[in-house]
Copies of this chain bind each other. A is one copy, B any other.
Amino acid sequence: MKEQGALDELTAQGLGKIEWAERHLPLLRRLREQFESAKPFANLTIGMCIHIEPKTAVFCKALQAGGAELALTGSPGTTQNDVVAALRGSGVSVYGQREDDHAAHVDNLRGVHSHRPHLLMDNGADLVFTLLEAASESRVIGGTEETTTGANRLREELSGGLPFPVIVINDSPLKLIMENEHGVGPTIVEGFMRATNLLVPARPFVVFGYGSVGRGIAKCLRAMGARVIVVEPDSIRALEAALDGMQVSEIEQALRTGEVFITATGRPGIIVGQHFDRLPDGAILMNAGHFSWEIDLPALRQKSASVDRFSELIEVFTQLDGRRITLLAQGEMLNLAGGGGNPVETMDLGLALQAQSLRYIAEHHNELAREAQPVPREINLEVARSMVKLLSRS
């Protein structure tokens, strides 16, 4: 156990980061004022699973201002311990720390449910599945789901079986535009530069997936002078990529011509099995999707003669034939692991959508279908209007 002094320092550091973030979250600041008088969450407990970093702490304060009790956990590997310390100091029940492994994460999810929440703010559908597996009585009236990955799980694995309405935040066109394309995209490129210190111009990158995240990455790379190859089975998206100046390739061809490989599909099993055998010496693998399942890490590990760790973010897997394959951030989202995460303003937008959607669920849960559903259009238009005003400095 750490000493008191160190803990205080940690809390102070967390509070400093939160104060800095708050200055740059004007949409949330305004919502907090509105919630303070309207108290839309009076007598409600919200169970949350969300990357724990300074911006989510500001979000928690807005919900608390609206009357909510909060129980929170993060994702393994991205939790910032100083923010955890600061949150605990302000009355949030937090489960988890940066060092957690998967087993600890499962315990944390159960910890959140021990508060018997009325609303769920979920990430990857972890809270929903933990709840359903427990099969015990619940007070949940509805919730939100942050990611496309989670939405896919709800729709595919639970089709018809969801006992309450869930608004899927990532389906909002605003999120696709601002957070995925203009938030994740550039910060993934920033993460590559930060982690490797390698040059972007003239380097051949392969981007898997040309959804909004993949497009954001590919466009940022190309704008900086890189050579970008896109692998995308949907022919309509592939057409977009080609017209945006990307080279569209089949995966076999891409494995031969690329050097840096970035997965951004939101689906498991993109780089697997024999793919590892065809990667060139010096290949660099990284992931931009929500889960670390896009690159088959167990297979990579099994195929390797040795693994060397060069920094917190860099591991080199030497293959039996001598080829060295570099993995960044252990396959976790590179912009979150070790970086600041998405830009403050994209988070401001995403969290404003979250907050408005949670309020909407609290007020309208009886009228909504018990299924995963998009953010209501009036919320989208209103949040977009606020953000345009902000960005135009008008």
Contacts and interface: CB of A to CB of B under 8 A. Distances in A.
Contacts of A202: 242-243, 245, 391-392
A388 B343 contact: no
Given A235-B384, A381-B236, A245 B222 contact: yes
A329 to B, nearest CB: 15
B249 A392 contact: yes
Contact of A17 (B187, B259, B311, B343): B311
B190 A194 contact: yes
A183 interface: yes
Interface string A341-365: 1011110000000000000000000
A394 B248 CA distance: 9
Contacts of A346: 199
A247 interface: yes
Given A227-B247, A236-B381, 14 more contacts: A19-B310, A177-B240, A181-B243, A182-B201, A186-B193, A187-B193, A190-B194, A197-B344, A202-B391, A227-B245, A236-B384, A238-B384, A239-B387, A249-B392
Interface in A144-189: 173-174, 177-178, 181-183, 186-187
Interface of A: 16-17, 19-21, 23-24, 173-174, 177-178, 181-183, 186-187, 190, 193-194, 196-204, 220, 222-227, 235-236, 238-240, 242-245, 247-249, 259, 282, 309-311, 314, 339-341, 343-346, 380-381, 384-385, 387-388, 391-394
Contacts of A388: 235, 238-239, 242, 248
A222 to B, nearest CB: 7
Most chain B C-beta atoms within 10 Å of own C-beta, residue among A198, A199, A247, A282: A199
Nearest to A23: B282
Contact of A197 (B225, B238, B239, B343): B343
Nearest to A181: B243
Query: 5 closest pairs, A vs B, by CB?
Result: A197-B340, A225-B245, A223-B223, A235-B384, A199-B343
A16 B243 contact: no
A249 B227 CA distance: 14
A314 B344 CA distance: 15
Contacts of A245: 201-202, 222, 224-227
A250 to B, nearest CB: 8
A236 B248 CA distance: 29
